[in-house]
Amino acid sequence: MGTILEVDNVGKHFGGLAAISRLNLAVSEGEILGLIGPNGAGKTTLFNVISGYFPPSAGRILFQGRDVTGMQAHEIVRLGITRTFQASALFMKISVLENVFTGFHLSYATSRWKRLLRSRSARSEEAQLKREALSILEFMGLGPLSGEAAANLPHGHQRILGISMALATHPKLLLLDEPMTGMNPVETENMISLVRQIRDRGITVMLVEHDMKAVMNLCDRVVVLNYGQKIAEGLPREIRENRVVIEAYLGKQGAK
């Protein structure tokens, strides 16, 4: 398996504060990589840097061997990196189906003029994308809710819709920011199985999550951040027994 994403000596400073410093990280194609660490460790900042929301202060980001450092968020998506957000970020006023449709922004093959004039080919493309949107929703278990306004969905379903929209962009690498937050154990189990199925479709997944049990259960590999630096990396089993990690989470006293 090749490396799909390489974070090379990346730093991100906000004024004098270093949110991330000299971080090196590689994501292998087809894996589910967990990113954990105490609050303020720099996990979401790293997502924001990779997905083009802030340029890094130092270092490079390589995606499939190509330097994408400093590219803008909407350009990064075109290359195949899509991220989701911590809070239920959805277009609340419109339907579930329309939300997914918005994710097809870069998927059109017909010309702009044809789409504006609603030519036959543009209409058939629209119908085909609608079928694809429905199949994504079906796959994610939201099929029966496609006509509902996003605002009316329960929290757990909103999180799933957020990921469904990301899937509509046809990502190669999916960055999930705390996908299980606020979920009950049943919903968490469901999310774990969904993320596995997404990976089985050939999409590499990198996720930030606080639910340790879920991370250990789901991820092939885990990277631990603390104060913006990588303190450990390895299989879930190794991380669970890593003394440095336990200290970072529980403090030196707790680790004894």
Partner 1 sequence: MVNNPYYIHLLIMVGMNAVLAMTFLLLLRTGLITIAIAGFWGVGAYASALLSVKLGLWVWLALPTSAFISAIVGLVIGLLLIKKGGIGFVMLTLVFGFIVVLVFGTFEAFGGYTGIYDIPPPEAIRLPFFGLVEFTSKTPFYYLMLFLVSLVVLVFNAFYASWTGRAWRAIGQGPRLAESLGVSIFQYRLLAFVIAAAAAGLMGSFFAHYYGSIVPATFGPQKTIYVHVYAILGGIEYAFTGPLVGSLVMIVAPELLRIAKEVEPIFTGLLVILLVMFLPDGLLGLIGHSRPSGPAENLSRVARWVKEAFTRGKSASQG
Note the residues at the interface with partner 1 (CB under 8 A): 51, 53, 72-74, 77-78, 82-85, 89-94, 98, 101-106, 108, 115-118, 149, 165-166, 168-169
Instruction: List the one residue out of 197, 128, 209, 211 whose CA is nearest residue 167.
Output: 197
* CB-nearer residue toward partner 1: 87 or 255: 87
List of residues 6+ apart from 103 with CB closer than 8 A: 164, 165, 166, 167, 168, 169
Cβ proximity to partner 1, 63 vs 104, nearer residue? 104
User: In terms of CB distance, is 93 or 213 closer to partner 1?
Assistant: 93
Residues contacting residue 230 through CB under 8 Å, at least 6 positions apart: 23, 24, 25, 223, 224
Nearer to partner 1, 73 or 250 (CB): 73
As measured in angstroms, the least distance from the Cβ of 149 to partner 1 is 8
Contacts of 16 (CB under 8 A, 6+ apart): none
For the record, the structure tokens of 121 come out as 């080919």
Shortest Å distance, C-beta 41 to partner 1: 22
User: What's the closest the beta carbon of residue 176 comes to partner 1, in angstroms?
Assistant: 12
Q: What DSSP assignment string belongs to 105-134?
A: TTT--S-HHHHHTT-HHHHHHHHHHHHHHH
CB-based contact 207:175 (threshold 8 Å)? yes
Give DSSP secondary structure letters for 142-188: -GGGTTSBGGGS-HHHHHHHHHHHHHHT--SEEEEESTTTT--HHHH
Q: Given the structure tokens 């894996």, which residue do they identify?
A: 31
Rounded to the nearest whole angstrom, what is the least distance from the CB of residue 45 to partner 1 in the complex? 15
Question: In this complex, which beta carbon is closest to partner 1, that of residue 16 or of residue 113?
Answer: 113
Q: Closest distance between partner 1 and the C-beta of residue 242, in Å?
A: 33
- Torsions phi, psi for 33 (to 5 deg): -105, 125
Specify the residue, 145 or 245, whose C-beta has the smaller distance to partner 1.
145
Asked whether 236 and 202 are in contact (CB, 8 A), the reply is no
- Residue 53 or 249 having the CB closest to partner 1: 53
Query: What is the amino acid identity at position 70?
Result: G
CB of 77 to partner 1, least distance (A): 4
Which residue bears the tokens 């949110």?
A: 19
Please state the closest distance from residue 82 (CB atom) to partner 1, in A: 7
